[in-house]
């Protein structure tokens, strides 16, 4: 099976650290507050889509090693660079396309500010 082939959420989270799936469900609730979105899981990540993908959840332990890795990362695509210090990293993979990476360690990390970012991304993906 290739990394881009669709799988179920249960398959994606089967070998992840405990707590990752619960945090994903909190991320899904935050995304749902923006509006309806398709959920598409592959071996590498779970994407939230409208016409295009606008947010992704992934488990950094699949790619990185270390003792202080968060159980989940939420990546949000925006057409601007957001200056919040909460982002672990912001990259510009294409002109005017900024990928913002937020470490999610608890459901409390998914506050109103995160919901605003998700609503912005959701609107741009329509």
Q: What is the pLDDT of residue 61?
A: 77
Mean of the pLDDT values across residues 80-89? Answer: 97
Mean of the pLDDT values across residues 106-115? Answer: 98
Question: Between 20-32 and 112-124, two packed helices, what is the crossing angle to 10 degrees?
Answer: 60
All structural domains of the chain: 9-124 (3.90.1150)
- What span, in angstroms and rounded, lies between the C-alpha atoms of 27 and 5? 22
In this predicted model, what pLDDT tens digit does every residue of 9-24 receive, in sequence order? 999 999 888 789 999 9
């Amino acid at each position: 099976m290739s990394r881009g082939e669709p799988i179920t959420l249960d398959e994606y989270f089967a070998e992840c650290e405990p707590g990752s799936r619960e945090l994903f469900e909190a991320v899904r609730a935050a995304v749902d507050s923006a509006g309806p979105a398709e959920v598409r899981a592959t071996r590498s990540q779970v994407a939230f889509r409208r016409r295009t993908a606008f947010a992704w959840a992934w488990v950094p332990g699949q790619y990185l090693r270390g003792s202080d890795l968060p159980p989940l990362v939420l990546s949000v695509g925006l057409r601007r660079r957001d200056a919040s210090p909460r982002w672990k990293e912001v990259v510009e993979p294409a002109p005017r396309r900024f990928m913002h990476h937020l470490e999610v360690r608890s459901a409390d990390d998914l506050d109103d500010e995160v919901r605003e970012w998700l609503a912005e991304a959701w609107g741009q993906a329509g």
